Chains A and B, each alone.
Chain A
Amino acid sequence: MSTIVYIPRDSSALSVGAEKVASAISQEAAKRGIAVTLVRNGSRGLYWLETMVEVATDKGRVAYGPVKAADVSGLFEADFLNTEAASAKAHRLNLGLTEELAWLKQQQRLTFARVGITDPVSLEDYLAHDGYQGLKNALKLSAADIVKTVTDSGLRGRGGAAFPTGIKWNTVLGCAADQKYIVCNADEGDSGTYSDRMIMENDPYVLIEGMTIAGIAVGATQGYIYLRSEYPHALAVLNEAIAKAQQAGYLGDNIIGSSHDFKLEVRRAAGAYVCGEETSLLESLEGKRGLVRFKPPLPAIEGLFGKPTVVNNVISLATVPIILHKGAQYYADYGMGRSRGTLPIQLAGNIKQGGLVELAFGITLRELLYDYGGGSASGRPIKAVQVGGPLGAFLPESQFDTPLDYEAFTAIWAVLGHGGIVAFDDTVDMAKMARYAFEFCAIESCGKCTPCRIGSTRGVEVMDKIIAGTDRVKNIKLVRDLSNTMLNGSLCALGGMTPYPVLSAINHFPADFNIKDAAV
């Protein structure tokens, strides 16, 4: 009998040698005449334990990690495939049953229900794990009722803007047009975020299903996934999954025998951060420079090629299937206040146990950083965290008890964004981080509006003076004034939110700017 061994194909797992571990296990098994079947699953998201190798047993999967290729022969010596053997149990990398790992067990994985469990490109595996149940339910509903279900679930745009998804869909549904589009924003450029990548690499069908449901709901027959060029693995997985879904009748004309058509294509972005902004993304999809458009008109009314277009983030769309499968109320029962459902949180930066934590809104930063994250990777105190990517505020330790909730973050002049949390230890120099925020904005500005295009470069120059100790008080006032202009005068969030990291750094960490307090 052949033992099933799971080794992730997720790119983060590959980045620490998963491919070498897989070939070492194949070779060692062949050498010893042991039959193993390797399944390349997705990552469970416990990245500090990658490469995490799992062995299938009657009781569930038993995990070993972090496994290096050099550990493989030792694992075979310990008879690791026979998980009941005393030597296998005693092996230093044995983690026990995967499902019993507290880090995983305490999570509420709705969007990520299948991630790490299934073979990402196997449609059979997807179907065997509740795949396409949402679509089947959607096909029994009217377009308006699908939209109402999404609205009632309370789902808000997970890309960062947190706009209610159902309301956006309803606008597109209400537009009469010969062609409408569903566009998936997969230009996940925020540092500290990787949940979109995980969905696309590890459960691509859930995104395809979500986009198909969106198409049926609003009457769109063409979808595009605008995927960042930095994600070659996601591109390969998505293309393979789309081809398989099409072959099986889940994409194309008359989806699973219905009267609905929906075609889907992946389009590669080209390394411009600003194209994560929806109107810039649409320009890019049309084959132009990614210049931000003025709003109105809203993309929901005049979007791609001037047609009504739903532009949603990967996680928003990938959450639609479970809402249609289990119902709006099931999803809305999770969360707090106006933040309903769950958020796939990504722990990143200087953190001991980095990875994907999907939980209902309401957990605090402190719980995430210490209970899940285990503190800093360096072992030094965590001085600051940046939540929500390069345009998110830096938060000091005194704000770590803030619950993850859109409104609670707004109240402390911060943003939850796409749910990425980057931790910094006490060696970080916040003045340098403020300078970097301006520098990043200057590199990535599309150039259309002056506050962003010029303001970012002037910001770098003024920060250089502050760091050099030139007229500090005067120059900090100047940074505040410049930030005010950018906040209020920029066309989109790139220029408009760069002041968040800059001003939060000054306000919470004045000592790093060599000023006594922030009130200058």
Chain B
Amino acid sequence: MLQDTLINQASVQAGWAEKLDQLIAQYKSMPGALLPLLHAIQDELSYIPESVYPKIARALALSVAEVHGVVSFYHHFKTHKPGRHVLQICRAESCQAMGSEGLEAHAKQCLSIDYHETSQDQAITLEPVYCLGNCALSPAVMLDEAIFGRVSKADLEALIQDAKKTEAQA
């Protein structure tokens, strides 16, 4: 845990402390501020380092445990830095009906990782997702914020190869 925190802090970008203060000031007085603030932090860093909990807790009059509780409750919030890209494969029923199980297995094999893991080259983090609202064109996957429908194994492989070559989206 301590080691995680140290790694987290070390990897956080320069000027982050000021940025965090600015975000806290921006969201602090908003009703129900915690989720919008966490989103803003994740938008900035692509994850939510544990090192930000105490400052958030103080600003919103919460305990650190409460902040941790909220971060850990929601699947969307990441506590570790993901790869340059996040690939989400839909596991829900509509996509299952169109062979998403095969896609999942193929992605895991291509990347040599399981769900919630990042490929060794730090290019892609693989996540399951439960419905992307693209159910008329199942099976569906999402790469960062781009959605793809009627995805074949070959399509998925091409997506993965492209993503490995490219930098993260801003």
Contacts of B38 in A (CB 8 A): 270
A191's partner among B31, B33, B135 (CB-CB below 8 A) is B135
Contacts of B134 in A (CB 8 A): 11-12, 15, 194
Chain A, 455-479, CB within 8 A of any chain B CB:
none
Evaluate contact between B133 and A349: CB separation under 8 angstroms. no
Question: Does A36 belong to the interface (CB within 8 Å)?
Answer: no
Evaluate contact between A188 and B133: CB separation under 8 angstroms. yes
Evaluate contact between B73 and A350: CB separation under 8 angstroms. no
11 of the cross-chain contacts (CB-CB < 8 Å) are A15-B148, A15-B149, A16-B149, A191-B131, A193-B131, A194-B134, A229-B76, A267-B36, A285-B32, A354-B138, A436-B93
Chain B, 106-161, CB within 8 A of any chain A CB:
129-138, 140, 142, 145-150
Evaluate contact between A386 and B93: CB separation under 8 angstroms. yes
Q: How far is the CB of B13 from chain A (nearest CB, A)?
A: 22
Evaluate contact between B34 and A287: CB separation under 8 angstroms. yes
B94's partner among A269, A286, A290, A348 (CB-CB below 8 A) is A348
Question: Does B35 belong to the interface (CB within 8 Å)?
Answer: yes
Evaluate contact between B92 and A289: CB separation under 8 angstroms. no
A interface with B by C-beta (< 8 Å)? 11-12, 14-16, 47-48, 50, 188-194, 196-197, 229-233, 267-273, 284-290, 305, 346-351, 354-356, 377, 386, 390, 420, 422-425, 428, 433, 436, 440, 443-444, 446
Evaluate contact between A47 and B32: CB separation under 8 angstroms. no
Evaluate contact between A267 and B35: CB separation under 8 angstroms. yes
Evaluate contact between B97 and A231: CB separation under 8 angstroms. no
CA of A270 to CA of B60, assembled, Å:
19
Known: A193-B135, A270-B77. 19 other contacts (CB 8 A): A12-B133, A15-B147, A15-B149, A16-B137, A16-B148, A47-B136, A191-B130, A229-B39, A230-B133, A272-B73, A285-B32, A287-B70, A290-B74, A305-B32, A346-B136, A349-B93, A349-B135, A390-B130, A436-B96
Q: Contacts A191-B95, A230-B133: A268 and B39 contacting too (C-beta < 8 A)?
A: yes
CA of A433 to CA of B95, assembled, Å:
12
Task: List the B residue with the shortest CB-CB distance to A446.
Answer: B73
Question: Does B69 belong to the interface (CB within 8 Å)?
Answer: yes
Task: List the B residue with the shortest CB-CB distance to A353.
Answer: B136
Q: Contacts A15-B147, A15-B149: A191 and B75 contacting too (C-beta < 8 A)?
A: no
CA of A28 to CA of B71, assembled, Å:
48
Evaluate contact between B92 and A193: CB separation under 8 angstroms. no
CA of A508 to CA of B47, assembled, Å:
45
Q: How far is the CB of B155 from chain A (nearest CB, A)?
A: 10
Chain B, 59-89, CB within 8 A of any chain A CB:
60, 69-70, 73-77
Task: List the A residue with the shortest CB-CB distance to B43.
Answer: A268
Evaluate contact between A271 and B147: CB separation under 8 angstroms. no
Question: Does B23 belong to the interface (CB within 8 Å)?
Answer: no
Task: List the B residue with the shortest CB-CB distance to A348.
Answer: B135
CA of A501 to CA of B13, assembled, Å:
47
Evaluate contact between B93 and A192: CB separation under 8 angstroms. yes
Question: Does B52 belong to the interface (CB within 8 Å)?
Answer: no
Contacts of A350 in B (CB 8 A): 97-98, 138
Evaluate contact between A422 and B93: CB separation under 8 angstroms. yes
Contacts of B70 in A (CB 8 A): 287-289
Contacts of A433 in B (CB 8 A): 93, 96
Q: How far is the CB of B137 from chain A (nearest CB, A)?
A: 5
Q: How far is the CB of B61 from chain A (nearest CB, A)?
A: 11
Evaluate contact between A268 and B98: CB separation under 8 angstroms. no
